[in-house]
Amino acid sequence: MTAARTDGRIARGNQTRQVVLRRAVEIASVQGLEGLSLGRLSTELKLSKSGVFALFGSKEDLQLATVRAAIKVYLEHVVQPTRDLPPGVDRLWRVCAGWLDYSRQRVFPGGCFFYSVSAEYDAREGKVHDALASARTSWFAFVEQTVREAQQAGEIDENADAPQLVFELVALMEMANAESVLHNEFTCYDKAAKGILNRLHAVATDTSSLPTP
């Protein structure tokens, strides 16, 4: 009986935690991680303040948990859909197109969560900065791995500068996100897609699998 009650409390706590984090990522994508507070979340979600404080020991703990929750959403929408595709330039294009769709569809209300909050913490020190920097490094590493696998598959020129290509592709994606969020318009995603395709056509050994820019 005691075990059942304990399991029930744990399940309810986990459920509450997920509810809080879903709202936290929404707020942070628009107002930044500094816009989060345990009191605000408990009030907005009509939850017990003591219960919410028990789940997150401090504001920093809440911010770190929010970053981890955002990473899971990011992986689900951007990375995982391309995991099972064969290596090649088409897979690289689909990674980029998936990112543009993720931003265009406002998976996070403020556009790309990590673009928004990275600007907030880029010149700071501490655990939150480190978590965001690590997430960004992992994203760049994933895109670069995708490029190098396409090179190994013979679909991208082996002499192409992979880190430079990654930098340019990410720059186009992030510029589309920034312009769209700032001006509330969406044609910039088509411009970014065209720029990305132009860049991929320039380095691909065979462009038959790519859309025409």
CATH number at residue 99: 1.10.357.10
Radius of gyration over every alpha carbon of the chain, rounded to an integer in angstroms: 20
Q: What is the pLDDT of residue 7?
A: 52
Residue 59 inside a domain? The answer is: yes
Residue 208 inside a domain? The answer is: no
Residues of the chain scoring pLDDT < 50: 4
Residue 129 inside a domain? The answer is: yes
d(CA 141, CA 156): 17
Residue 213 inside a domain? The answer is: no
- pLDDT, tens digit, for every residue of 96-110? 999 999 999 999 999
Q: What is the pLDDT of residue 213?
A: 85
Residue 211 inside a domain? The answer is: no
Residue 187 inside a domain? The answer is: yes
Positive or negative, the CA dihedral 91, 108, 32, 186 is positive
Residue 166 inside a domain? The answer is: yes
- pLDDT, tens digit, for every residue of 64-98? 999 999 999 999 999 999 999 999 999 999 999 99
Residue 209 inside a domain? The answer is: no
d(CA 157, CA 44): 53
The position carrying tokens 């411009």 is 191
Q: How many structural domains comprise the chain?
A: 1
Q: What is the pLDDT of residue 20?
A: 92
Q: Which domain holds residue 172?
A: 2-203
